Amino acid sequence: MKETYIKEFRPAELNNPILIEGLPGLGLVGKIAIRYLVKQLKAQKFAYLYSPHFPYFVLVNRKGSVRLLRGAFYSWKNPTGGSDLIFFTGDSQSQTIEGQYEIADRILEFARNPTVSTIVTIGGYRVETEAKPKVYVAATSPEILNKAVNAGAVVSGSGSPIVGTAGLILGLARFKKIDALCLLGETRGYLPDPMAASSVLEVLKSAFSFDVDMAALKEDIAKAEKMVQRLQTIEEKRALQAEETRREEDKKTTYIS
């Protein structure tokens, strides 16, 4: 394997499909969103992306079997007759600069085959707020941008960078004559953030007219919030103890001198 390549192991006959991408990144927003969609919609895996620019280890699956790091494509037939959906997520982003460009390029090439009309990429946008996460949007054309704006997204500020595959797919899309937009959910980014993913999914559902039951994601959000509270409690205790220790040591210093 000298280059990134995509192996399609099941033909996916799709109707005017939209490709939605979310790799690991800030707050895992994109990966959480895609995994949730795949699970809720029972999407079918149909292709893998492999790359020598992924980290050089393999993962052990259940039952001791082994696999390379990879990306995976899933298809979903829209029962209402609207656009079918392709989902893409994976274990990792590229570890090299050239690999970042190569992987985005291969995803776009692949998207041209089943004649994908639109690509949506998902990522996180770092903020230090605890308010309900806003969703920022950037796009290759005003038409597709407005779809997301009408669904509640805020136009991304001029000059802000979109890092990694989510950004490069948009940057390279115009060379392949594919429309693309990027949805970035606000996140503090330290921990997996299902709340940010939820905000992105609300925009996505509304903009592309498909429905997903959000109940299970609400449970994940509740769990994540409990986790954050637990970490805060631990951190506060640690700070109190550190303060205590400092005082004890100040006393000792006094005795010595």
Stretch that binds its own copies, among 23-31, 134-142, 224-232, 238-246 (CB under 8 A): 134-142
Minimal distance, residue 224 CB to its own copies, in Å:
19
| Number of other CB atoms surrounding residue 156 within 10 Å | 18
Cα separation, 60 vs 55, in Å, equals 15
Does 79 engage in binding with its own copies (CB under 8 A)? no
Q: Which amino acid does the sequence have at 137?
A: V
CB 154 within 8 A of CB 136: yes
CA distances in angstroms from 161 to 123, 124, 166, 199, 202, listed in the order given: 12, 12, 11, 20, 23
Q: Which of 60, 81, 128, 215 binds its own copies (CB under 8 A)?
A: 60
Does 63 engage in binding with its own copies (CB under 8 A)? yes
Per-residue x/- marks for its own copies, 2-31, CB under 8 A? x-----------------------------
Q: The tokens of 90 are what? A: 């994976």
Does 177 engage in binding with its own copies (CB under 8 A)? no
Does 101 engage in binding with its own copies (CB under 8 A)? yes
Sign of CA dihedral 149, 154, 159, 162: negative
Q: Which of 35, 45, 46, 105 binds its own copies (CB under 8 A)?
A: 105
Q: Which of 35, 44, 68, 220 binds its own copies (CB under 8 A)?
A: 68
Nearer to its own copies (CB atom), residue 39 or residue 237: 39
Q: CA 76, 81, 84: angle at the middle one, nearest 5?
A: 30
> Which residues does residue 140 pair with via DSSP β-bridges, in sequence order?
none
Q: Three-class SS of residue 120?
A: strand
Report the interface residues with its own copies, using CB under 8 A: 1-2, 52-53, 55-69, 94-98, 100-102, 105, 137-142, 145, 155-164, 167-168, 170-172, 175, 180, 182, 250, 253-254, 256-257
